[in-house]
Structure 1
Amino acid sequence: MAAPHIHILLCTHNGGPHLADQLESYGAQAHGDWSLWVSDDASTDDTRATIARFADRHPGRQVRLFDGPALGPAANYLSLLLRPEIPDGWVAFSDQDDVWLPHKLKHGLAEMGARGAQVYASRTILTDAHLTRIGPSVVHRRGPSFSNALVQNILAGNTLILDPDAFARLRAMTAAALQEGIDPPHHDWWIYLAMSGAGLPIVNDMRPGLLYRQHATNSLGAHRGLRAGTARATLLKDRHYAGWLATNLAALSAASMYMTPPNRTLAEAFGAMRQVKGGAARLAELRRLGLKRQSWRGDLVLAGLALTGRL
């Protein structure tokens, strides 16, 4: 596969002291053919000035800055990927506070070519706010599938690369959902749902491609450790998870014309299962549908949610 041009999609909001590191890591990529498209969500710090300085230091590089909708990270990313100014082509999604390792883009493209994938994600190396390494992100050994995407996101949004066909499909599915007034709550989970629902091949690479900075203002942070587990338990208790599932299913329904028939049927059956009366009946239907998370512990939690009507 010839080395393609990649559109880097970056969303920012008060990037503070970490944005410059992220920007400089683009310039250090072994794959040098890229442009940068930024959607800034009403930053009040020096985020825009930092981006302008970066653009000035790279006069031969296309760097475009847009105003975001100021409705949160998910809405910002979804609005950016629908920008008509961004041509069709390859895209890589980026957070504002990580550091890409030099091999990230080149290796991701090579893996996609070798495995015949249209969507790429990878593990990350978790760090503290000062980039001191903590360890690698979790391994999702069951791998990506639509039956998993319906109940869990395993694709790190800051590692995603999509080929032109996948990007075009994602744009169409996102536009269909937004036109119905449905706003997916998490852009990376939505990408996992949309791409797997459309039947596109996905690779979730074991090799980390970036340093994933953990700090107080992370939107969600990594899915690891006691703090992450406590946060997830709170979301389940407060029924946030059930609300996310409902919105995701509504978004898929709006974009169902782009899904494979079996996946469309599975999504509809999951929606119907959530309305079944009686915990035992819901659990039996959950098992019949084959919906699973990435671990037996996760499956137990899912079963408990079905039994107690929290799905």
Structure 2
Amino acid sequence: MALRRPVSELIGPWEEFRRIIPLVSLKSLLAEHAVGVPKVAILMCTMQGQRFLAEQLNSIATQSHPRWAIWASDDGSADYTHEILEYYQAHWGVDRISIHEGPAEGSTANFLSLTCRADIDADYFAYADQDDVWEADKLERAVAWLESVPPDVPALYGSRTLLVDARNQHIGYSTLFEHAPGFRNALVQSIAGGNTMVFNRAARDLLRRAGEDAGAVTHDWWAYMLVSACGGRVHYDPYPTVRYRQHERNQFGSNRSLRAQLDRLRQLLQGRFRDWVDLNLAALGRVRPLMTPESRQILDEFASARRRALVPRLLGLRRAGIYRQTLLGNLGLAMAALINRL
């Protein structure tokens, strides 16, 4: 049996890690004595994440917003992921990072299980993937916008991303979306990755009421749909706050490449997009009483149009006002409607 390597060999340059330890301690001290600084619970899901996890944790440590705590839910990793989390916990303290066992049913189930945990108490909540790198002002920008929203109104922040390769080298940007977010868009598109999302307690309460078994396709698309459907506010920040790492083990990567777009077209033609919409509509049906009257009307018009013959289907979708963020996306939406794959 091969001997397991020391975890210290997997966290990158020791000098960088050693520099961050007192930084985290100082921020913890400042946060304890700061008046009115909101706490952010970082909901991180991990699975076989040893390759990039340390770099992500280091980027969280350097956030300009000082008051945060990581709740890491591991879905049964067989590599060094758990040991790396424990190594950081030993140096940062249990108040900064706690480690939990995920449901082992995929990333969406893992994120929703964390979201619905009653013992996580914070002012704001941020989703975090295991393999990205956060820009230093990510939480600060999100919190600044969230604090402009009344606390009883569900609010969701998301942003554009800077795309990097496995070595954290810049290779591009995610698509810049310019149309206002809203429920009519959320029904057919998720505009911000979960790795950029931060939301307030009212939005988190909505997600908890919907339940961790909501049945939606992905946690980030579900958050966008749910908040926009229930009268909340959604903000898309065109400033990239996350270095979104593209590598061979991405579960969901950027859709910018020609290969990715062709793959999306293939999925549309095969009916996979229609299957996703079916799942999302079923999930929305479970939370219908929480939705605004306007959102219920939009949902009914959209659901009814999908079941009709070609001409009534197109007219119904137009009446419902469903849209995607780009010209190409709307052309794909029109094609899906024409061939009854929506």
Structure 1 residue 115, shift from structure 2 partner:
6.8
SS state of the match for residue 96, structure 1? Answer: coil
Relative to 1, partners in 2 of residues 1:122 and 1:253: Cα closer, same or farther, differing over 3 Å? Answer: same
Q: Shift of the alpha carbon at 1:209?
A: 0.8
Contact 1:42/1:68 (CA < 8 Å) preserved in 2? yes
Say whether residues 1:287 and 2:318 are aligned partners: yes
CA distance in 2 between partners of 1:272 and 1:216 (Å) = 40
The separation in 2 between residues aligned to 1:183 and 1:109, in whole angstroms, is 29
Q: Are 1:296 and 2:327 matched, yes or no?
A: yes
CA positional deviation for 1:168: 1.1
User: Could you tell me which residue of structure 1 aligns to residue 4 of structure 2?
Assistant: none
Q: Which segments of 5 or more consecutive residues in structure 1 lack a partner in the other structure?
A: none
Q: Distance in 2 between matches of 1:8 and 1:141?
A: 28
Does residue 58 (structure 1) correspond to residue 95 (structure 2)? The answer is: no
* Counterpart check, 1:95 vs 2:129: yes
Deviation at 1:246, TM superposition (A): 0.5
The runs of 4+ residues in structure 1 deviating greater than 4 Å are 114-117
CA contact (8 A) 1:174 1:255 kept: no
Between Structure 1 and Structure 2, how many residues are aligned?
305
One-letter identity of the residue aligned with 2:328:
R
Write the letter of the residue equivalent to 1:288.
Answer: R
CA deviations 1:267-298 (Å, max 9, x no partner) are 1221121111x222211111111101112221
Of 31, 34, 44, 2:65 maps to 31
Aligned to 1:195: 227
Identify which range, 62-71 or 148-157, moves more after superposition. Answer: 62-71
The one of 242, 246, 264 equivalent to 2:274 is 242
Q: 1:88 touches 1:168 (CA, 8 Å); kept in 2?
A: no
**AA matched with 1:74:** T
- Residue 302 of structure 1 deviates from its aligned partner by 1.0
**Mapped partners of 1:169, 1:129: distance in 2:** 36
**Relative contact order (C-alpha < 8 Å, sep 6+): which is higher?**
1
Q: Secondary structure at the residue paired with 1:208?
A: strand
Q: Deviations over 1:222-249 (max 9, x none)?
A: 1212122022112212211101101100
Output the amino acid matched with 2:323: K
Mapping of residues 122-141 of structure 1, within 5 Å: 122-141=159-178
Q: In the alignment, which residue of structure 1 is the partner of 2:42?
A: 8
State the Cα deviation string for residues 157-192 of structure 1 (Å, max 9, x = none). 1011111111111211235xx2xxx52111110000
Which runs of 5 or more structure 2 residues have no equivalent in the other structure? 1-34
Deviations 1:2-57 (CA, angstroms, capped at 9, x unpaired): 42001000001100210110111111111111111111111110000010001111
Q: CA deviation at 1:60?
A: 6.2
Q: 2:143 aligns with which of 101, 109, 112?
A: 109
Deviates most, 210-219 or 265-274: 265-274
TM-score, normalised via structure 2 length: 0.85
Structure 1 equivalent of residue 236 of structure 2 = 204
1:70 aligns with 2:107: no
Mapping for residues 146-225 of structure 1, pairs under 5 Å: 146-175=183-212, 178=213, 182-225=214-257
Matched, 1:145 2:182: yes
1:4 & 1:88 partners in 2: Cα distance?
8
Percent identity, aligned pairs only, is 38
8 Å contact 1:173–1:258 — kept in the other structure?
no
> Normalised by the size of structure 1, how large is the TM-score?
0.94
Structure 2 equivalent of residue 227 of structure 1: 259
- Once residues 126 and 97 of structure 2 are traced to their aligned partners in structure 1, the CA distance between those partners, rounded to angstroms, is 14
> Equivalents in 1 of 2:94, 2:66: separation in Å?
12
Shift of residue 114, structure 1, vs aligned partner? 4.7
